[in-house]
Amino acid sequence: MNAFFKCLHQHNSSLRLRYRMEENECLTLIDTSQVSDLLSREQQTLLSWLSDEEQQYLARFRFPKRYNEWLSGRIAAKCCLLQAVKKQSAPFRPGTCSILPDSHGRPVLSWAQMGTSMKLSISHSHQYAVAMTANSACGIDIQLIGAQILNVRDRIATAEELVLADSLQAGSREAGLTLLWVVKEAVKKHRLPEQAGIFEAIALERVTPGHTKNSWQAKCRLTGNKQSQSVRIVQLDNYMMAWCRG
């Protein structure tokens, strides 16, 4: 993980987040097990990352796993925002902005300091939550590589895409299918956020090796309007992550 998320942000000597800055975008990773552990000892420190509105929304969750995932995702997204504004003279106060879901579940930033210029996306899977911020609409997805993906392969891919996934030399068939899954999820979040369950609306046309080990570049096509979308992918230990924007 650290080879990709090279930068470290440490908050109050306890909370550690990894992030990666690229041109006009930031990606952040947080270990949700760390957040779960800190909730039992430093709950107020974690809640200080949230606005009053976010704290009220978080209080709805009765299951600890969902509570932890939602909180972790918001902290990760605000770490991205922190990096985006760290060169500004005014200090960043995470409680002054809110990231709440719209009617389709998409996280939307409300922050007077940045207006509507900053866009974001959040994802979580098992041990990790990730977030992305950019100066244009974006999408990110992370998934644990596992045998469960074999049970849904025919729902997420065409026969041609399954052949493509098998040809990727990603280490296993499960890894290839998970790559396909995260690509389509990232594109869906970016380009089709108002539609649910529409993997058939996104066609994976090409996947090529990236510039670093265990990374790829994909090209997708939206079957409804023929528009194309480029997606970047990286394998992080036993997780696959994809992200796109623009």
Nearest Cα residue to 28 out of 146, 180, 134: 134
**Alpha helix segments (H runs only) across 86-144:** none
In terms of pLDDT, which residue wins out, 131 or 87?
A: 131
Contacts of 140 by beta carbon, 8 Å cutoff, 6+ apart? 27, 121, 122, 123, 130, 131, 132, 186, 189, 241, 242, 243
Instruction: Give dist(CA 219, CA 228) in Å, integer.
Output: 7
pLDDT for res 51: 96
At 99-126, the pLDDT tens digits run: 999 988 899 999 876 655 789 999 999 9
At 181-225, the pLDDT tens digits run: 999 999 999 999 888 777 889 999 999 999 898 999 999 999 888
Nearest Cα residue to 222 out of 245, 191, 196: 191
Backbone angles phi, psi at 166, to 5 degrees: -70, -20
Which residues make beta-bridge pairs with 143?
A: 240
pLDDT for res 14: 83
Q: What angle do CA 92, 10, 71 make, to 5 degrees?
A: 70
Paired tokens of 12: 């109050």
At 38-82, the pLDDT tens digits run: 998 889 889 999 999 999 999 999 999 999 999 999 999 999 998
Question: Is the full-model pTM beyond 0.85?
Answer: yes
Instruction: Give dist(CA 128, CA 152) in Å, integer.
Output: 22
pLDDT for res 113: 67
Q: Which domains does the chain have, with CATH numbers?
A: 7-136 (3.90.470.20), 142-245 (3.90.470)
**What percent of the residues of the chain are helix, what percent strand, and what percent coil, each to the nearest 5?**
35, 35, 35
Instruction: Give the C-alpha distances (Å, rounded to integers) separating 71 from 38, 48, 52, 103, 156.
Output: 12, 11, 13, 19, 29
Q: What is the mean pLDDT of the chain?
A: 91
At 5-21, the pLDDT tens digits run: 999 998 776 889 999 99
At 135-188, the pLDDT tens digits run: 899 999 999 999 999 999 988 999 999 999 888 877 899 999 999 999 999 999
Paired tokens of 111: 């922050």
**Res. 90 pLDDT band, cuts 50 70 90:** low
